[in-house]
Amino acid sequence: MTDTPADRLARATPPAIARRVRGLGDRAIAWIFVAPTIFLLLAINIFPLIWTVRLSFTNFAANRPGREVEWVGLRNYERILTDERIWANMQTTAHFLFWTLFFQVVIGFALAWLINRRFRGNDLATTLIVLPMMLSPAVVGNFWTFLYQPQIGLINYTVELFTGIPASSFSMLGPGGLAKWSIIIVDTWMWTPFVMLICLAGLRSIPDYIYEAAEIDRASKWRQFWTLTVPMVLPFLMLAVLFRGIENFKMFDMVVLLTGGGPGNETLLASIDLKREAFEKWRTGYSSAYAIILFVTVFGLASIYVKALNRVRER
Amino acid sequence: MKSRYLGASAAVAIAAGAGSVQAETLTLCWAAWDPANALVELSKDFEAQSGHSMRFEFVPWPNFADRMLNELNSGGKLCDLLIGDSQWIGGGAENGHYVKLNDFFDANGISMDDFMPATVYAYSTWPKGTPNYYALPAMGDANGWFYRKDWFTDPEIMAAYKEATGEELREPQSQRELMQIAKFFQGREIDGKTVYGVSIFTERGSEGITMGATGALYAWGFKYENTPGSYDMEGAVNSPEAVEALEFYKELYECCTPPGYDNAYMEQSLDAFKSGQVAMAMNWFAFFPGLYADPNTGGDKIDFFVNPPQNVAASTLGGQGISVVSYSDKQDAALEYIKWFAQPEVQKKWWSMGGYSCHMSVLGDPGFADTAPFAADFLVAMEGVRDFWQEPAYASLLLAMQERLHNYVVAGQGTAQEALDGLIADWTEIFEDEGKL
């Protein structure tokens, strides 16, 4: 009989320990494995969340340790929800969210569809397209600032070349209403490849025989696209929208580098405003309430969306 | 109480003799800029004399307040010594971040009478003007102006200016004259290149536009309160003069700055000038030695002037005091550094290396005005400096002003009157939260 490593380990284990381990049920062993993760989850996610909820009902300021903390009830929530400035920031965030998702879905799907049609240089094109999403948002923010520079920037120069509008007569990141579109362009440039990759995975998961059957049934390419391709890629696309939606709701770094929330408050997203309230103005209680409102908004919207996604997948 | 105890114990330690303090490695925190590099060089003398070694933590200006106030608020031990902005003094004192230095000064014969009064008031005292010292004036500074002297003295340009305005081209004697000159240069071709009038501060994120616009506001006679200490702002912050000054700053931004100049602070102002884009620029005196030494636009090509008056002569205060951080475990050695730094001969060397000493042995020297082309202007500027609120809630107060000013000046939203009325509403809410109203 062969002496396996498992046999050797069993012989080396003291009988008492072996009995104790053997005495544990599957459920207990499962708990032993899961407990550290649950502990970390509680310590890092749940406890801070509960603590934030508690702080949101106070006037606590983290930079004023000596000041008496007062219970203010729902006052912070009331101030936030009745503040026109906050609603304006929410609108700015919604504008950014809607248009970035719209452009990323349309362009990302179109690119995936093109890449999926095998052609020479396909792999190189895919690599080049996904490059932007590999860059750091800080790098992207900085070099787009240069691209948008009115005097030396490539964008203004190109506009002048094609339209005759003097390059230095307008500023993509300055006043005039272009700034909110400029940040959408940059985010779309950076993250469209992500949507493209997910769509590409969806397209490649569609078996060829389905299209062959459609061909036999003499379905046109247009009909194949709308009745086969789109419905089968839709769950993937919805997943991409979910990921990008959550990410863009939290968008901070790139926009701070590009505009700092300006000009005025034109690109002041909710996340930037929240950071200023929490860590520049140090209104900890107020900003906790602000964070809870944002959390409930994202969580609520994401839950509704996930239900819709599941329904689509079940179809 | 805690800080007083710490200060007193440290004072006793110093008085007992520097030799009793064991060799330490001290960390000094400041902003990353030209004077900080000079301080590194200067501090080598301290290392040689004391046996302590120095480490430096310099943070770029846009992140300086964020980084350092986070450090202080979390009770961090990174900095033993901090050269913090003047506006932090209220929070530093009230929140126990800074060691109170009165007992230490008394024990070591350091007198605040030896320093320029305006700098003692601005950088060291809390509550303002009381003899409670939380910092030693370290780096005097104010917002000043510099211009292309070679353009201003070019006969062709001078003649063109005379023809256009009927006046001589000279250093502006008022804010209105500054705008007139800026308009003259805006879009003009000089040496085959299009140049612009001025670079001013318009930055949104930290303190830029507030520091720039207050240069105009103070010159028109802007006040924060009707009575100091009353927080009575109605009629002061939004006075007709303040409204006029803010309208002026917006017009200056619109008429006379380079394209895309909507989020500019110190660095952008320096770049605009050094690249030969602008005729005049505002910036802190701290940068003037570097500007004068610049091989392309310095030397004979540059000259300096104090913020021009309109109704009154006034400049925006910059500069910092040096404080001992109360969370430091090396307070004795840190105090030893301050004692060394306060010596007249060290202060003289500090000025000679590019730091702006606040010591009267330097500033009161009859030959001081001739030591640098901007030295006389510095003295004039420091006589009329005005500072922002130095309250513990200064960050909230500053961000509110940043937002109101940028919305009006750069984004073109509303009127100057609405911006200043809105600012009073914001500040009132903050002071109410603080329990001061």
CATH number for position A203: 1.10.3720.10
Q: Is B63 on the interface with A (CB under 8 A)?
A: no
Helix (H) or strand (E) holding B385: strand B385-386
Is residue A65 in a domain? Answer: no
Q: Do A63 and B263 touch (CB under 8 A)?
A: no
- When scoring A58, A59, A63 by the number of chain B Cβ atoms within 10 A, the one with the most, hence best to mutate, is A63
The answer to whether residues A112 and A203 touch, using CB atoms and an 8 Å cutoff, is: yes
State whether A154 and A303 are in the same domain.
yes
Residues facing residue B85 across a β-bridge:
B320
> What pLDDT, in 10s, does the model give residues B383-418?
999 999 988 888 899 999 999 999 999 999 999 999
Is residue A68 in a domain? Answer: no
State whether A176 and A107 are in the same domain.
yes
Is residue A92 in a domain? Answer: yes
Q: Which domain holds residue A166?
A: 79-314
State whether A41 and A189 are in the same domain.
no
The 10 Å Cβ neighbour count of residue A264 is 23
State whether A29 and A84 are in the same domain.
no
In one-letter notation, the amino acid at residue B237 is: V
- Give CA separation, B202 vs A121, B100, B296, B382, in Å: 48, 36, 25, 23
**Strand-pair category, B143-148 with B302-305:** antiparallel
pLDDT-based confidence at B2, cuts 50/70/90? Answer: very low
**Strand-pair category, B278-284 with B196-199:** parallel
> Domains in chain B, please, with CATH?
2-141+319-386 (3.40.190.10), 143-316 (3.40.190.10)
Q: How far apart are CA B293 and CA B65, in angstroms?
A: 28
| DSSP labels, B307-369 | PPPSSS--EEB--EEEEEBTT-S-HHHHHHHHHHHTSHHHHHHHHHTT----BHHHHTSTTGG
Residue B7 has pLDDT above 50, yes or no: no
Q: Do A265 and B403 touch (CB under 8 A)?
A: yes
Q: Find the residue in A nearest to B395 (Cα).
A: A281
Percent of chain B with pLDDT over 90: 86
Is residue A62 in a domain? Answer: no
Best CA proximity match to B401, nearest among B267, B145, B203, B248: B203
Residue B12 has pLDDT above 50, yes or no: no
Residue B292 has pLDDT above 50, yes or no: yes
Reading the block at residue A51, the tokens are 């603590």
Torsion B220-B224-B230-B232 (CA) sign: positive
CB contacts < 8 A, A to B, total 88
State whether A32 and A122 are in the same domain.
no
Q: Counting runs of H as helices and runs of E as strands, what totals does chain A give? A: 16, 0
Q: What is the pLDDT of residue B16?
A: 42
Reading the block at residue A23, the tokens are 């005495």
Q: Do A260 and B395 touch (CB under 8 A)?
A: no
| DSSP labels, A258-289 | HTTT-STTTT--HHHHHHHHHHTS--HHHHHH
Q: How far apart are CA B134 and CA B127, in angstroms?
A: 10
CA distance A247 to chain B (A): 23
State whether A215 and A138 are in the same domain.
yes
Q: Is A82 on the interface with B (CB under 8 A)?
A: no
Residue B153 has pLDDT above 80, yes or no: yes
Residue B10 has pLDDT above 50, yes or no: no
Best CA proximity match to B232, nearest among B89, B386, B431, B395: B431
Q: Mean pLDDT throughout B184-190?
A: 97
Best CA proximity match to A265, nearest among A136, A7, A98, A85: A85
Q: Do B96 and A282 touch (CB under 8 A)?
A: no
Q: What is the pLDDT of residue A102?
A: 97
ipTM over cut 0.85: no
Q: Do B259 and A150 touch (CB under 8 A)?
A: yes
State whether A90 and A50 are in the same domain.
no
pLDDT-based confidence at B22, cuts 50/70/90? Answer: confident
Q: Find the residue in B nearest to A276 (Cα).
A: B399
Reading the block at residue B400, the tokens are 């509110």
The answer to whether residues B381 and B285 touch, using CB atoms and an 8 Å cutoff, is: yes
Q: How far apart are CA A129 and CA A149, in angstroms?
A: 24
Q: What is the pLDDT of residue B9?
A: 46
Is residue A66 in a domain? Answer: no
CA distance B352 to chain A (A): 36
Q: Do B396 and A281 touch (CB under 8 A)?
A: yes
How many domains does the structure of chain A reveal?
Answer: 2
Reading the block at residue A130, the tokens are 């996904």
Is residue A71 in a domain? Answer: no
Q: Find the residue in A nearest to B261 (Cα).
A: A174
Q: What is the pLDDT of residue B390?
A: 87
Q: How far apart are CA A3 and CA B53, in angstroms?
A: 64
Query: Which residues 250-269 of B are in CB contact (within 8 Å) with A?
Result: 258-260, 262-263
Q: Is A145 on the interface with B (CB under 8 A)?
A: no
State whether A153 and A291 are in the same domain.
yes
Q: Is B403 on the interface with A (CB under 8 A)?
A: yes
State whether A100 and A199 are in the same domain.
yes
Q: Is A122 on the interface with B (CB under 8 A)?
A: no
Q: What is the pLDDT of residue B11?
A: 45
Is residue A296 in a domain? Answer: yes
pLDDT-based confidence at B435, cuts 50/70/90? Answer: confident
Q: How far apart are CA B140 and CA B120, in angstroms?
A: 10
State whether A22 and A93 are in the same domain.
no
The residue ranges of chain A whose pLDDT is under 50 are none
Residue B17 has pLDDT above 50, yes or no: no
Q: How far apart are CA B406 and CA A265, in angstroms?
A: 8
> What pLDDT, in 10s, does the model give residues A29-76?
889 999 999 999 999 999 999 999 999 999 999 888 778 899 999 999
State whether A234 and A199 are in the same domain.
yes
Burial class of residue B290 in the structure, from the number of CB atoms within 10 Å of its CB (0-12 exposed, 13-18 middle, 19+ buried): middle
The answer to whether residues B320 and B86 touch, using CB atoms and an 8 Å cutoff, is: yes
Reading the block at residue A70, the tokens are 């007062």
Q: How far apart are CA A26 and CA A97, in angstroms?
A: 46
Percent of chain B with pLDDT over 70: 95
Is residue A67 in a domain? Answer: no
Q: Is A285 on the interface with B (CB under 8 A)?
A: no
Between A260, A279, A281, which is nearest B205 by CB?
A260
Contacts of A256 (CB under 8 A, 6+ apart): A141, A272, B205
3-state percent helix, strand, coil for chain A, nearest multiple of 5: 75, 0, 25
Reading the block at residue A209, the tokens are 């025989």
Q: Mean pLDDT throughout B332-355?
A: 96
Q: What is the pLDDT of residue A253?
A: 93
Q: How far apart are CA B183 and CA B193, in angstroms?
A: 16
- Give CA separation, A114 vs A124, A193, A200, A229, A263, in Å: 13, 13, 9, 13, 38
State whether A174 and A295 are in the same domain.
yes
Between A149, A263, A280, which is nearest B406 by CB?
A263
SS3 of residue B278 by DSSP: strand
Q: How far apart are CA B287 and CA B270, in angstroms?
A: 9
Q: How far apart are CA B92 and CA A60, in angstroms?
A: 18
Q: Mean pLDDT throughout B273-284?
A: 97
> What pLDDT, in 10s, does the model give residues B26-83?
999 999 998 999 999 999 999 999 999 999 999 998 889 989 998 998 899 999 999 9
Contacts of B208 (CB under 8 A, 6+ apart): B201, B202, B263, B264, B265, B266, B402
Residues of B in contact with A175 (CB under 8 A): 262, 410-412
The answer to whether residues B183 and B264 touch, using CB atoms and an 8 Å cutoff, is: no
